[in-house]
Structure 1
Amino acid sequence: MAPSGLDGWRLPAYEPLNNELEPHETEQAMSSSAVIREETGELDDHEETMPGNISQSSNSSSRDEASCSGSTSDTAIMRGSAEDKPPESNVSAPEPKDASDRFTFELAGVVVSAGLLATMLALLSVYDHQPQPSWPHISLNAVISTLSTLSKASLIFSVGESLGQLKWVWFSQQKRPLLHLRLFDSASRGAWGSLRLVWHQRAQHFAGLGAVVMILALAFDPFSQNLIHNYVKMVADPSGKARIGTVSIYNTIGSDMATSFFEVDPALKGNVYNSLFNNDQSRPWEIPKFVCTSSNCTWDEPVASLEFRTLCTNVTSVLIPNCTTFPANSSYAGQTNCTFTLPKSNTSAWYLPNSPVMTPFSVAGVPPTDAEVYTNASLIVIQYIAPQHANVSLFEGGLLPNGTLWEATECLLDPIVRSFRPAVHQNTYSEETLAIWTQSNFVTVDNANVTAGNTLTPPGTWVADYGVPVNQSSPQNNSAQSYVLGFNAGKTIETFFQAIFSGQSSRSVLHTVFTPTFNNYAASDTLEALGWGNITGCSDLLADRLPCAMGNVAAAMTKTLRDSAYIADPRSTSGWAVGNAMMPAVYIAVHWQWVVLPLVVWVAGATLVYSNTTTKSPDIQDLNSLTCSIVKYYAHLSFRTSIHLYLEVDPIFPCDPTYSTKPLVLFPSPSIRDNHGNVKNEEYFLYFFSLVSFSQHAKIFPTCMVQENSS
């Protein structure tokens, strides 16, 4: 349609073109147009003169606005010959626009995209390695997804508009095939069209950057979503409880059995028997009592407590072998008897080579003064002799050949102070040992501040580093409190172990017996367990069984001491080490490497838009990516009409590259004249016919190929 500025002037007289169609071609074209329009009626006479004033149809305007939303009101006139130009005084030239006005929406889209992207990253930074927020009705993932989608949409809008503008830059530089129009138009609509443009352009034009942005934008949302990873972290439960017992003074004993003789603490005795007779692989006799309401507990600070340990040493080197022959008047006349003896304690074992008669093992509890190695032990020392490489089957059969080697082992039980860090995971208790203090001295007299017995006092550094409380008698010195194994408890422990770990097994031709040295406590049962019992964690080799059994015993005794916190015994001092009951919580971990692609896409898109706004030529109209931008261009055409018409192309007939080699023929719509023959609507429909080839004057304009007036 003619621009408003053309009202009031009459169109110049018709001047024939050199490339006009022949009459028979015209008739064929008119017939085709009638079919396409699906309307009946004859075409109006083209020889009539168009009235000077042409009013714009409201229907045409409304359709143009719907089809070309966002287009500018400026029009570009493709003029014919100089004498066909309308009078300059009657034409209103378009006002030049500032770049900030022309690209307001594109720049705003980039800014909005950056703001949304920055908001997304700021939100992720706040919640990185923090608990997952418990927002009502929405999750953090949903918020990030929304921000990511909006950021991408804003950026794609700006990039698509810039690609549309670069289309006109591409065509303004030189003559281009009409196929390029479809490539640019498709690229501004999505990734597939952009991929085709990249393949076709091969980095020949700046629009390739926009096409790459459109392609990479497909991964914008997946990369943004992959920023968030959830993991389960244990956190303290404010309402939970976690505690474990500790003991600093242990002096618990059993009942009075006779003058100057007390039984051992029944709890200790039961735990020791359990460690020797119970083959439960979960080792319940070594796990101290604990409280953990959540089944998962930790202790931030180290814990220190009085405990027991065992140490064992191979003393075979001091073992004295002695082989003699039985006299003739003996029932074993002529046979050799080999005896192996530890010199200080006279602990011994013997066997008859190649005979079932022997002592498969011998054990004895001796004072430190009779020990071979542990002469400074605080309590009793256990000595043990057994043949090398023999296993428990020796009790049921088998012979020892002449020259069999025997081993001697010496073990002790010592009170210690151990610093450790306890933990409970899935209701399973475990400990990490941090440090052990073993130096002790014996205090013989009770007083107000010290209990008689084996006393262990760690250095002051243990107060800060290993969880030892400050000595309350002299807190100003920051010295560590002392840990004491009371005299009475120590004596009952010595008596108990001397009884159960003294004796030997004896094998004859008919049977095997276990003979204890003392008849109190379960001495014979202990010897039987040591000989062929299924002791938890112990092998069947006889020479290795005592060190293993003593390890179980020490763990059982430690449990007894720690559990004394649950028993109100005034003779012992115990306490609680309080920890944290932990509960699982979902935490957020941001994998920042996934933000690289969204940032690269935004930077590339912003670069494209900014460059487009700053480098645009003022001669290129702001047509952007409108498919029907030709609506705002007027073709100065003539077709056997005696007048020149400024035609408006109907947008329902899009330009198609397949018609790029076909001539353009314009026919007036039958509906453009009223009953009086006056033009009532400037609408013309665009048809393509394979009638003649374009002349050399054919020229490509932004959306359609038209014929330029050559006169």
Structure 2
Amino acid sequence: MARDTDGERTPLLNSASSQGLALAQSVGTLLTNWWLWELIEACTSIIALAVIVVILIIYDGSSLPDWPSVFTINSVISFLSTISKLSIVAATSAAVSQCKWLWYRQAEPRRLQDLQLFDDASRGPWGAVQLLFSLRARHLAFIGAVVVVLANFFDPFVQQVVAYRSRSVPSGKAPEIVKSRVYAARSDEGLPLPSVVDLSMKAGIYNGVFDIKDNADSGISHTCSTGNCSWRDVSSLAICSRCVDITSQVEKECTDGKCHLLYIPNGPTLSGLGGQINSSTTNISSELQSIEPSVLRFTSLLSKKVSDPNDALAIECSMFYCIGRYTASVKDGIAEQRLLASWRNDSARLDTKTDLILNPPTSFSNESGAEPYRVTHLAAHALNSFMSETFTGSGGINNSGSAFSSDVMQALYDASNLTRRIENLATSMTNSIRGQDDNVSGPAYGTAWTSETYVHVRWAWLAFPAALILLASCFIVGVILETSYRDILVWKSSNIALLFHGRSLRLSRPNEKPVNKLSAMTSRATNIKARLVDSDTEGWKLDQDE
């Protein structure tokens, strides 16, 4: 510390020290004699809530922030809400304490007991509840007591603002799903096969026919690293199907009310009792005549009820080459796909020497300038021959057993929904075509999804804390204005003010002027000593030590 030759402080330091002391005294006086401290607390509460709102706006809908492990959004908001609550409650409590002086300033005398009610109300919710029942909205302090009581619900409401939810977000390498622009029968070594159905297509046919759950959609070849992926608008060469019910065209020959012959003119025939199926590649329905280019067209006549020869079901189905547009997804490792739309060229015909070309309009495939879809004539001829042979046959069951010309006939007979089974067959065959590496199209790429926890802000829960702070702020401003209007000094919760201004109390010496400001009373009280004594005449008294 700088000193002069006499060991005293320099005039400059003396001046600075005096100015600093005067400033500190001015601020201290302002804090004691006015509402500066309470206004700071109210502003602190508002600012803390505003910071909470800003944080929530920033992180609403975002993934969890990468903060140090000791900090979370909940912990930060809890800390700020505690500051906001404590600040506004402290300011409100001071205003409630000031209300007791407003209460006794009125014209009519008030019960001395009310002094304790106001004091208790400024200290906690139980005292505030007692004051509520006592005042019954007859005084401004009623609002302050309501704020003190409701402040206990501040934290629970703020804690409900932030919720953590899960959502799917893109992640990792783009998944792949097969598609194809070309179908050509090939061996396992990749060599073209002459007029022979390749084994992969045969497997697709048998899988589709024998799949009792009709779940060929899940068999599409794909890669999905996360177990949850999606693809949209995947166009590929495909096999489509359409079936029509032609049961109304079944003719019956009956004797004595019992039918012994069921047949379709120029089509399959059943004789004897039920429990039979007969399938052939005859063309019956005019609805399917225009559908090309055909893979297979067949008619099946069934009579499943052995004891009822009148039972009959006739279905004709057409399977044909088409261009399919699919949407596909993998959820929890299980693949699904759905046909959005299909396109076919009814003017195209299969030829033994020329490949089948399918060139859909750009409006369908959104692939302008791409190479057209193609089915080689050898593969088309081989598949047509194999399908015609496979879906021609008969069989049935009776009391002694069953006999079918092929397992395919038994599968068609056992199908609970033959139309759905043929649709499943078409899907399985399509999967086989798409699974071939045609060296033209390559796979379709989609999006891999992973689960992410994100911040969801429920803004409605902030309404209560915001309304409470607003109500408290209005109450504090009202008490300030009322105090000024009634020309009452700001004594708040001071017990010293009560001791100095009770008429039965004499804390001032005869030669001392009375003091009214709280800072002056506090200053004088520092030089006054008292003790609690018990006298025989007056009982317990707080006695000033002379």
Name the amino acid aligned to 2:425. Answer: V
Is 1:421 the counterpart of 2:327? The answer is yes
Q: 1:621 to 1:525 in 2, by over 3 A?
A: same
The aligned residue for residue 592 of structure 1 is: 459
Kindly state the Cα deviation for residue 270 of structure 1 after the two structures are TM-superposed: 0.6
Kindly state the Cα deviation for residue 294 of structure 1 after the two structures are TM-superposed: 0.7
- Cα distance in 2 between the residues matched to 1:529 and 1:282: 12
- 1:573-593 CA-to-partner distances (Å, cap 9, x unmatched) read 432221222111111111111
Name the amino acid aligned to 1:234. Answer: S
Q: Which has the higher contact order (CA 8 A, sep 6+)?
A: 1
Kindly state the Cα deviation for residue 412 of structure 1 after the two structures are TM-superposed: 1.2
Matches within 5 A, 1:568-579: 569=438, 573-579=440-446
The aligned residue for residue 389 of structure 2 is: 499
- 1:218-264 CA-to-partner distances (Å, cap 9, x unmatched) read 11111011000110111111x33311111223233569xxxx96221
- Cα distance in 2 between the residues matched to 1:414 and 1:100: 94
Matches within 5 A, 1:74-93: none
Identify the range of structure 1 (606-615 vs 427-436) with the bigger mean alpha-carbon deviation. Answer: 427-436
Contact 1:454/1:487 (8 A) holds in 2? no
Kindly state the Cα deviation for residue 646 of structure 1 after the two structures are TM-superposed: 7.8
Q: 1:509 to 1:115 in 2, by over 3 A?
A: closer
Contact 2:351/2:377 (8 A) holds in 1? no
Contact 1:418/1:435 (8 A) holds in 2? yes
Contact 2:483/2:489 (8 A) holds in 1? no
The aligned residue for residue 241 of structure 2 is: 310
**Aligned match of 1:384 in 300, 308, 319?**
300
Name the amino acid aligned to 2:461. Answer: W
Is 1:526 the counterpart of 2:459? The answer is no
- Cα distance in 1 between the residues matched to 2:473 and 2:351: 87
Name the amino acid aligned to 1:598. Answer: P
- 1:251-285 CA-to-partner distances (Å, cap 9, x unmatched) read 33569xxxx96221311111221233354x49367
Contact 1:187/1:197 (8 A) holds in 2? yes
The aligned residue for residue 116 of structure 1 is: 48
Matches within 5 A, 1:579-658: 579-617=446-484, 619-633=487-501
Gaps of 5+ in 1: 1-69, 75-96, 326-334, 473-480, 516-523, 533-537, 649-680, 694-703, 707-711
Is 1:270 the counterpart of 2:203? The answer is yes
2:105 match: secondary structure = helix
Is 1:365 the counterpart of 2:263? The answer is no
Contact 1:286/1:558 (8 A) holds in 2? no
Kindly state the Cα deviation for residue 213 of structure 1 after the two structures are TM-superposed: 0.8
Q: 1:407 to 1:177 in 2, by over 3 A?
A: same
1:173 match: secondary structure = coil
Between the aligned residues of both structures, percent identity stands at: 24
Contact 2:352/2:378 (8 A) holds in 1? no
Q: 1:286 to 1:686 in 2, by over 3 A?
A: closer
The aligned residue for residue 364 of structure 2 is: 462
Name the amino acid aligned to 2:92. Answer: V
1:575 match: secondary structure = coil
Is 1:683 the counterpart of 2:543? The answer is no
1:349 match: secondary structure = strand
- Cα distance in 2 between the residues matched to 1:489 and 1:362: 27
The aligned residue for residue 212 of structure 1 is: 146
Contact 1:441/1:455 (8 A) holds in 2? no
The aligned residue for residue 86 of structure 2 is: 153
- Cα distance in 1 between the residues matched to 2:505 and 2:258: 136
Q: 1:322 to 1:443 in 2, by over 3 A?
A: closer
Name the amino acid aligned to 2:362. Answer: G
Of structures 1 and 2, the larger Rg is shown by 1
Contact 2:301/2:314 (8 A) holds in 1? yes
Kindly state the Cα deviation for residue 506 of structure 1 after the two structures are TM-superposed: 5.6
Gaps of 5+ in 2: 1-24, 515-526
Matches within 5 A, 1:442-591: 442=348, 452-453=355-356, 455-457=358-360, 459-463=361-365, 468-472=366-370, 482-505=372-395, 512-515=402-405, 524-532=406-414, 538-539=415-416, 544=417, 546-564=418-436, 567=437, 569=438, 573-591=440-458
Matches within 5 A, 1:202-351: 202-237=136-171, 239-253=172-186, 262-279=195-212, 281=213, 283=215, 286-299=218-231, 301-322=232-253, 338-344=260-266, 346-351=267-272
Kindly state the Cα deviation for residue 211 of structure 1 after the two structures are TM-superposed: 0.8
1:246 match: secondary structure = coil
The aligned residue for residue 698 of structure 1 is: none
Contact 2:350/2:380 (8 A) holds in 1? no
- Cα distance in 2 between the residues matched to 1:171 and 1:421: 79
Q: 1:499 to 1:690 in 2, by over 3 A?
A: farther
Contact 2:250/2:262 (8 A) holds in 1? yes
The aligned residue for residue 125 of structure 1 is: 57
Kindly state the Cα deviation for residue 444 of structure 1 after the two structures are TM-superposed: 6.8
- Cα distance in 2 between the residues matched to 1:383 and 1:525: 17
Kindly state the Cα deviation for residue 382 of structure 1 after the two structures are TM-superposed: 1.3
The aligned residue for residue 99 of structure 2 is: 166
Name the amino acid aligned to 1:600. Answer: A
Contact 1:158/1:609 (8 A) holds in 2? yes
The aligned residue for residue 11 of structure 2 is: none
- Cα distance in 1 between the residues matched to 2:372 and 2:56: 52
- Cα distance in 2 between the residues matched to 1:582 and 1:453: 38
2:49 match: secondary structure = helix
- Cα distance in 1 between the residues matched to 2:529 and 2:142: 37
Contact 1:251/1:489 (8 A) holds in 2? yes
Q: 1:214 to 1:285 in 2, by over 3 A?
A: closer
Q: 1:427 to 1:590 in 2, by over 3 A?
A: same
- 1:276-321 CA-to-partner distances (Å, cap 9, x unmatched) read 3354x4936752011110111133x422222222211111222333
- Cα distance in 2 between the residues matched to 1:611 and 1:244: 71
Name the amino acid aligned to 1:614. Answer: L
Contact 1:244/1:578 (8 A) holds in 2? yes
Q: 1:486 to 1:194 in 2, by over 3 A?
A: farther
- Cα distance in 1 between the residues matched to 2:398 and 2:497: 116
- 1:103-133 CA-to-partner distances (Å, cap 9, x unmatched) read 1111111111111101101111111111121
Kindly state the Cα deviation for residue 549 of structure 1 after the two structures are TM-superposed: 2.8
Contact 2:249/2:264 (8 A) holds in 1? yes
The aligned residue for residue 64 of structure 1 is: none
1:562 match: secondary structure = helix
Name the amino acid aligned to 1:556. Answer: S
- Cα distance in 2 between the residues matched to 1:513 and 1:598: 80
Contact 1:187/1:193 (8 A) holds in 2? yes
- Cα distance in 2 between the residues matched to 1:608 and 1:359: 90
- Cα distance in 2 between the residues matched to 1:455 and 1:646: 114
- Cα distance in 2 between the residues matched to 1:135 and 1:291: 35
The aligned residue for residue 3 of structure 1 is: none
Q: 1:637 to 1:454 in 2, by over 3 A?
A: closer
2:185 match: secondary structure = coil
Name the amino acid aligned to 2:320. Answer: D
Q: CA RMSD in A?
A: 3.8
Calculate the TM-score normalised by the size of structure 1: 0.63
- Cα distance in 1 between the residues matched to 2:503 and 2:452: 70
Name the amino acid aligned to 1:274. Answer: N
Kindly state the Cα deviation for residue 594 of structure 1 after the two structures are TM-superposed: 0.5
Aligned length: 497
Name the amino acid aligned to 1:513. Answer: A
